[in-house]
Amino acid sequence: MLTIFYILLLIDFGRCSDHQIFDTKNVAVGQNVTLNCSRDHRLLLTELFWIRLVSQSFPEVLGSTMSHDSSITQKTHHITTKQEPGTFVLHINRAQLSDTAVYYCIKESQLTMTFLKGTFLRVKGPDPGITGVTQDSLSNPVHPGDPVTLQCSVLSNSENRTCTEDHSVYWYRAKPDESHPSLIYSHGNNSYYCERSSEAPSQQKCVYSFSRSVSSSHTGTYYCAVATCGEILFGNGAKLDIEVPVVHHWDLQKTNTIVFLLCVALSINLIVIAFLIYTIKEKNKTSAAFSVKTNTETTSEEQQIQQRDEDSLAYAAPTFTKRNTRKAERRNARETETICIYSDVRAFAYGKSDA
């Protein structure tokens, strides 16, 4: 049945009655809504439909009935359709934000579809009183490493506010190579300042700031999003273009030449230093060998001289022979002091002697 209905809807979509009615109705969340569609009970082969059209969704049939009198009641979630005298009624119990849509009452008779009534129902939640969200444009150009401050101004009017919920501010970045914006920062409760207008005390302006040092990867469009009372309000966006310094071909070639020359000079210095170290080490080895040889020769000469001196020494031991003497001589000998005689002969080099 629904398939046949969709086919008929596509075939006869442009055909309307002379008494077509289209209106708009605004209600608050939680209110009851009643939509009426005229019904002629004398028509026997006529059927009435209530359908709902939501953006990016297929039409949804909420209820149907024959044009003649019937006591059938249909209920889908919190939506009820039924007959009342001369009308086909659509009743929404405690409307929700998701009930915002276009509602059509359609009459189908002998494969002909006629739009009798259309109503755009807008369900409004608690009003946060926000009248606008604006962003300041960035100064261009911006170079890598520069500090950048993003600002988002939230304008509100307390007279229209019916929601007591505080709002939160988020920062998003959209890039051409990304399919979805990415969340980069969220403000806390104390990261902003507010001021009231001197002309209208009920009007208030709150400014949110976000600072960072940028690099080449931070290019994109930055949006601030204000979430409050079940709604999300976006700012107008601020585009950040980062200008990367361009290195010319001549400068690059010149830089490469300088680097090459510095490398060559460093290599030469290392070779010279290595040669000097080698020369100093070899000189120290030669000096040490000569010193050892000289000391060895000196020691050998001293040993030879000492050996010759020892060989030239002559030792003599005197021998005294006792003989008989006269008494007078003996008496004189006692009176005479004892005399000791030592004899030593030493022979020196170069022909010198000492006795």
C-alpha pair distances (Å), 324 with each of 250, 321, 329, 337, 338: 131, 10, 10, 20, 18
Q: What is the pLDDT of residue 326?
A: 54
Query: What's residue 1's pLDDT?
Result: 39
Mean pLDDT of 239-252: 70
The percent of residues in the chain predicted with pLDDT above 70, rounded, is: 72
Integer Cα distance of 230 and 163 in angstroms: 10
C-alpha–C-alpha distance, residues 153 and 226, integer Å: 10
Q: Which tens digits make up the pLDDT trace of 114-126? A: 888 899 999 887 7
Q: What is the pLDDT of residue 285?
A: 80
CA distance 47 to 106: 8
Instruction: Give the range among 59-68, 189-198, 211-220, 290-299 with minimum mean pLDDT.
Output: 290-299
Above 80 in pLDDT, residue 244? no
Give yes or no for a cis peptide into 141 (omega within 30° of 0): yes
Statement: residue 321 has pLDDT above 60: no
The strand order across the sheet containing 353-354 reads 314-315, 344-347, 353-354
d(CA 346, CA 329): 37
Give the SS3 label for residue 296. helix
**pLDDT band at residue 11 using 50, 70 and 90 as cut-offs:** very low
Name the more confident of 239 and 334.
239
Which whole number is the average pLDDT over 174-194? 77
Q: Helix H segments across 85-171?
A: none
The CB-side HSE value for 188 (13 A sphere, CA atoms) comes to: 2
Query: Alpha-carbon distance 108 to 13, whole Å?
Result: 12
The amino acid at residue 81 is T
Write out the H or E segment, with its range, that includes residue 315. strand 314-315
99-119 pLDDT, tens digit each = 999 999 998 888 888 888 899
State the pLDDT at residue 323: 53
The H-assigned helical ranges of the chain are 2-11, 249-312, 327-335
For residue 191, give the 3-state DSSP assignment. Answer: coil
Q: Which of 8-12, 89-93, 198-202, 206-210 has the highest mean pLDDT?
A: 89-93
Q: What are the structural domains, with CATH classification, of the chain? A: 20-124 (2.60.40.10), 130-240 (2.60.40.10)
- pLDDT at residue 20, rounded to an integer: 67
The pLDDT score that the predictor gives to residue 250 is 59
Q: What confidence tens digit (pLDDT) does each residue in 130-167 have?
A: 888 999 887 767 888 888 888 899 888 877 777 777 78
Task: Decide if pLDDT at 16 tops 60.
Answer: no
User: What pLDDT shows up at residue 90?
Assistant: 93
CA atoms of 299 and 109, how far apart (whole Å): 142
Looking at residue 319, its pLDDT comes to: 54
Residues 6+ apart with CB under 8 A from 204: 155, 156, 157, 158, 194, 195, 196, 197
